[in-house]
Chains A and B, each alone.
Chain A
Amino acid sequence: MRFLSESPSLHAHCYRVLDDNGQLIRHSNFIQVSEDIAVKMYSNMVTLQTLDTIFYEAQRQGRISFYVTTIGEEAINIASAAALTLDDFVFPQYREPGVLLWRGFTLQEFANQCFGNKADYGKGRQMPIHYGSNKHKYFTVSSTIATQIPHAVGAAYSLKMDKKDACAVTYFGDGGTSEGDFHAALNFAAVTEAPVIFICRNNGWAISTPTSDQFRSDGIAVRGQAYGVRSIRVDGNDVLAIYSAVHAARKMAVNEHRPILIEAVTYRVGHHSTSDDSTKYRPADEIEWWRMARDPVTRFRKWIESNGWWSSEAESQLRSSIRNQLLQAIQLAEKVEKPPVKDLFTDVYDDLPPNLREQEKLLRETINRHPKDYPADVPL
């Protein structure tokens, strides 16, 4: 009689390509990345970082109501996006705007959603950072945790049935893996043999809950085997490791019709959101250490610079250019009017049912009687 131990004798191996100084680890095997792709990845990471800094500030100034940063997780966002193709469908949690950025969502489009103006594709219905873009195959963010994971499995099944050279990809945090939907999705993916990549950003924190209060397994990667899903643990702050792992995962998912689970180990440098002050539950010096010593952006910069593909001139030029574009995007987005009040009622169904037509009529009568109760920037 032999019980399987609750924990493996060795932690699951963590795949890495670059060391902390951005130098290739000897004998590491990885997919070569061209200068173009490398520089594009780096520029996107810098853009994401700058976007976060400026939009966070905008929230602090009261210009937008809410914001969520991706600080510390730029490598996961950009490198995973770069390893996918534009035919793949993305089901994000909410800390993956970099995937959308890589695919071509503009700074203006980000700003429009955060301001909920009439150019927002979401028609002003959701809080900031709830981006979605069908032309980029990026499903709209919802605040609910892990609900997107089984969606990705159903979508992947559809792609398999259509024999597409494409997969579904879904992202979630360490906290999300405690939800029932995570468990349900991995199990369904294995049984239905769906070409889906599950990418877990294990960043150590679910708001104030550290992973020691979240689970007792050896992280997330080991759970794959429990469902019959192939998995890997990767250094989430290593661009080349993420790129290679996602590239390999995609190939297996599409060619073998199998799900893959990737645990990207990282750290959430920023607060959970603008409604959070993480110094209340973790030491400030821990945050600083991860922000400085283990910054994925700096680490990758060292590598591209050592290849002669980047310079400090290029750096300052990029940062100031992005900064200006962002400030302009915000100024513009702030001035654009909100969507009209009719968009309160549309899209609940494909068509307006009688109860909503009636409610709109009554609402308009109320607005006429009490115009001061209503914001001036929402056209009637």
Chain B
Amino acid sequence: MKLEMGTGTALRNIIGRRFGHGWKRPFSTATCDVENQHSANANTNAKSINLYSAINQALHIALETDPRAFVFGEDVSFGGVFRCTTGLADRFGKTRVFNTPLCEQGIVGFGIGLAAMGNRAIAEIQFADYIYPAFDQIVNEAAKFRYRSGNQFNCGGLTIRAPYGAVGHGGHYHSQSPEAFFCHVPGIKVVIPRSPMQAKGLLLSCIRDPNPVVFFEPKWLYRLAVGEVPEHDYMLPLSEAEVIRKGSDITLVGWGAQLSIMEQACIDAEKDGISCELIDLKTLIPWDKETVEASVRKTGRVLISHEAPVTGGFGAEISASIVERCFLRLEAPVARVCGLDTPFPLVFEPFYMPTKNKILDTIKATVNY
């Protein structure tokens, strides 16, 4: 069955979600045709599914192709609070898919031991907001396991999945974007998908990568992002950023759910004659500096946007690196449009968030610098 695609037209629903004062958060329409290039071949079967279903497919494939793969975490057995693990326990049995006690340090510590014995340990942390009890195990143990042993041991089979990011009503503890903490840890990889099709391929790559990986899933997109996802087993490369919209006046860099907001800003900016290039970083560490640098050399301007608070966010690393590499090419300061330096608020979420208009204003200010 051929993958039907109108030129540049996504087959996704653009359903805004009303919140309070008419504030809308659509999701990415980005380049199906670019994504299509990554599909194995044009005759692939693909179905229109949402993000959690795509994750679910990846997990099914991971367990089906590797008898030493396991999925575990709080509430995964019945299908998980976001339905990402639906059907796994029934299909693969409760010795391979099982609930753990409510203890993140235990989930990750156990996962490290399982991975150290050559298994693929796919651990779920119910919300990224709750990953901190496992931070010691991730930073001091998983990230250093290979290095400290002189490569005698490794826990590369460990993948930690966690839903992250704003959801419209999550408040302090169901909305966090903690990626920056993990980007400061040599020895792990941090990967964030923007869409169902990306999520399935990236997650399979993370699971099969011989290094411990933290995979943040934009929970906002679990139901609302719908797209064509090939049904077969495919992997997308890690540490390769993707230009999802070509442009010449300014480079925008982002990841996850924020890309859809950035894309809306790009579309509006185009109406004012500003041509924006949009890059999905996908892997935050080790990140693809080359692709971003090549784009900035073309445009001379860069804007980074993420939901996490601006101070010490990963945008700071990208900014510093780009300035080091492209200083003389830059026509304007590197711009960051990010969350505020506050805990993630409930009623004030629309004010906290890096909205399309904040981005658009900053695009114009940067272009007119």
Contact = CB atoms under 8 A, between A and B. Distances in A.
B116 A140 contact: no
A278 interface: no
Nearest to B288: A354
A354 B95 contact: no
Contacts of A353: 239, 286
B295 interface: no
B154 to A, nearest CB: 7
B158 to A, nearest CB: 9
B245 interface: no
Interface in B280-313: 286, 289-290
A222 to B, nearest CB: 20
Interface residues of B, number: 46
Nearest to A193: B95
Contacts of A130: 148
A140 B140 CA distance: 13
A350 B286 contact: no
B187 A147 contact: no
A207 B118 CA distance: 35
A266 interface: no
Interface stretch (A151-159, A235-243, A248-256): A151-159
Interface in B100-142: 100-101, 103, 105-106, 108-119, 121, 133, 136-137, 140-141
A354 B290 CA distance: 9
A97 to B, nearest CB: 16
Contact of A188 (B103, B149, B211, B290): B103
B54 to A, nearest CB: 26
Interface string B3-22: 00000000000000000000
Contact of B149 (A91, A140, A150, A153): A140
B116 A350 contact: no
Interface string B310-329: 00000000000000000000
Q: Interface extent on A, as a size class?
A: 35 or more
A132 B210 CA distance: 20
B133 to A, nearest CB: 7
B150 interface: yes
Given A122-B149, A125-B150, A158 B286 contact: no
B15 to A, nearest CB: 38
B333 interface: no
Interface in A132-157: 132-134, 139-140, 142, 144, 147, 149-157
Interface string B223-266: 00000000000000001000000000000000000000000000
B130 to A, nearest CB: 14
A161 B97 CA distance: 12
Contact of B106 (A144, A161, A187): A187
A318 interface: no
Given A154-B112, A180-B133, A144 B286 contact: no
Nearest to B115: A154
Given A152-B113, A168-B113, A349 B211 contact: yes
A191 B156 CA distance: 25
B113 A155 contact: yes
A89 B152 CA distance: 14
Contacts of B368: none
Contact of A132 (B112, B117, B140, B149): B149
A157 B150 contact: no
B110 A350 contact: no
Nearest to A339: B150
Given A132-B149, A350-B156, A154 B110 contact: yes
Nearest to B123: A154
B114 A350 contact: no
A81 B93 CA distance: 35
B117 A154 contact: yes
Nearest to A139: B153
Contacts of A151: 109-110, 112-113, 116, 141
Interface string A295-315: 000000000000000000000
Contact of B109 (A159, A184, A354): A184
Interface string A105-132: 0000000000000001111011000101
A74 B117 CA distance: 29
A355 B149 CA distance: 22
Interface in A328-357: 346-350, 353-355
Nearest to A190: B101
Nearest to A154: B113
Interface centre among A125, A154, A188 (most CB of B within 10 A): A154
A150 B105 contact: yes
B140 A188 contact: no
A150 B112 contact: yes
B147 interface: yes
Given A133-B152, A349-B187, A147 B98 contact: no
Closest 10 CB pairs of A and B: A154-B113, A150-B109, A184-B106, A151-B113, A353-B286, A154-B114, A158-B117, A140-B149, A134-B152, A123-B150
7 contacts: A120-B150, A125-B148, A150-B113, A188-B109, A192-B100, A350-B146, A350-B156
Interface of B: 95, 98, 100-101, 103, 105-106, 108-119, 121, 133, 136-137, 140-141, 144-154, 156, 186-187, 189, 210-211, 239, 286, 289-290
Given A125-B148, A348-B187, A354-B290, 16 more contacts: A120-B150, A122-B148, A147-B140, A151-B109, A151-B110, A151-B112, A153-B109, A154-B116, A156-B113, A158-B114, A180-B105, A192-B100, A192-B110, A349-B189, A350-B146, A355-B286
